[in-house]
Amino acid sequence: LSGVPGFPLPSIHTQQAYDPQEAYTAKWTRADAMQIKAHSDTSVGAGQNSLPQQLVMPDVPADFPATNPDVWVWDTWTLIDKKATQFSYNGWEVIFCLTADKNAGYGFDDRHTHARIGYFYRRAGIPASRRPTNGGWIYGGHLIPEGAQEQVFAGTTYTITAEWSGSMRLLDPTSNKVSLFYTDMAFNRNAAGQDITPSQAVITQSLGQIHADFNHVWFTGFTKHTPLLRPDGVLYQNGAQNPYYNFRDPFTFEDPKHPGTNYMVFEGNTAGQRGVANCTAEDLGYRANDPHAETVDQVLATGAYYQKASIGLAIAEDSSLSKWKFLPPLISANCVNDQTERPQMYIKDGKYYIFTISHRTTYAAGVDGPDGVYGFVGNGIRSDFQPMNYGSGLMLGNPTDLNEAAGTDYDANPNQNPRAFQSYSHYVMPDGLVESFIDTVEGRRGGALSPTVKVRIRGDASMVDTRYGNNGLGGYGDIAANRADINIVGF
């Protein structure tokens, strides 16, 4: 294997499957992530895209439409079964979004502490070309009755709560019972918005029922909230170890190799005290005698050990999915990146893909990559996962100039590509369709659903399908079901 001149080779990953219960954690290594820079063009003009075009989401137009006039919309998910099949209900497509009130007097960047899970619906089976430009989603309101999710924090001290991402399981396509898995958040903050004590993140289940008639969709239930998992500090880092810990975004599924057993992937961090300089040669992942390898001491001297993301795994201990046990992480990114968010398990052609979203600004010192989707492929739910595309992990990035400093979504670097933060929180749907939300395009803030795009996935490689939609851009918020439930009456 010949690598890119001047760069180390990626780590060797066999894709070999391990027992899901085994204490084997695959590593997304520095040698792997280094392939992103290796394939980035150093000669582009400032503010262009330096990344391989086939891994870059096409430009979102700056005149994008709002999804809804009254609420900002960001992380979005669909109604799925244990195989991530996407269901419509009684002739309606339904999506669940983190929402925040646009009229409440706080800005888009303050949304996280005000996040509420909202739902939207639209008639199923209509092509994007015959829908309103913004996708035509009708806002149904909040899913959870006001304040009901606070029961999880009874007896603790907090000043504000929020509902963060998760997933929605249709428990049985012949009934209307649904199970919400989400991240219940409580913050204890002073008037200046600083934490008095670390935030509490609890992966939580709440059961409800979906209803629909000719005119609308609505939900009942979601009154009882069952805490499922809190980070234990042994397998997953907790707030006592790191006030900036990440623990959230549950996604449940069944493994066809273990029928009847339910698993959950989620965002975590490697357990241990923040700031301990202990990444290893395995975290770096260089091959023996690679002339471009870094030494462990060199890496630790940069402070890269502050970034230690992991993708967690838990196993359900009952059939009602109300009791879960931690298993060791599936992937760690020690000294590589601090956040691997909204992970999902995607099973295709006998291969197991983990897709996750990450940010440029959460990379460790010395490694770099864009905001977007990262992918890993193996032969089972626990594997020596191979990072997609040149061994790098990058699958679908925003147009980004890696030769220029990142800036932020709220304070752009004028020399950076004005679409480096165009989209985030991607979710890969059946057939490789990818939905996400618009963050910032040419300085205009989004809080709206992005145009859907399509990725063609084959083995450990992927590319944006430019024949899909308009040069690769589908309809805004075109989030279609690929299966109808069996309750259809009168449509």
Q: Which positions touch ligand FRU (CB under 6 A)?
A: 74-75, 98, 112, 115, 164-165, 183, 248-249, 267, 341-342, 424-425
* Cβ within 8 Å of residue 63, ≥6 positions away: none
Closer by beta carbon to ligand FRU, 34 or else 228: 228
Give the number of C-alpha atoms closer than 13 A to the C-alpha of residue 320, restricted to the C-beta side: 9
Q: How far is the CB of 91 from ligand FRU (least distance, A)?
A: 30
Closer by beta carbon to ligand FRU, 18 or else 96: 96
* Residue 75 designated active-site: yes
In degrees to the nearest 10, what's the CA dihedral of 51, 52, 54, 57?
0
- Residue 322, helix vs strand vs coil: coil
State which H helix or E strand residue 154 sits in: none
Catalytic residue from among 32, 59, 75, 384: 75
DSSP line for 201-254: EEEEEEEEEEEE-SS-EEEEE----EEEE---SSSB--TTT-TT---EEEEEEE
Q: Which amino acid is at 317?
A: E
State which H helix or E strand residue 477 sits in: none
Q: How far is the CB of 460 from ligand FRU (least distance, A)?
A: 25
Closer by beta carbon to ligand FRU, 50 or else 362: 362
Q: How far is the CB of 81 from ligand FRU (least distance, A)?
A: 22
* Residue 81 designated active-site: no
Q: How far is the CB of 341 from ligand FRU (least distance, A)?
A: 4
Catalytic residue from among 59, 184, 294, 341: 341
- Residue 63, helix vs strand vs coil: coil
- The closest of 441, 443, 360 to 60, measured between CA atoms, is 441
| Strand partners of residue 218 | 211
Closer by beta carbon to ligand FRU, 3 or else 166: 166
Closer by beta carbon to ligand FRU, 75 or else 93: 75
- Residue 332, helix vs strand vs coil: strand
For the annotated catalytic residues, the residue numbers are 75, 341
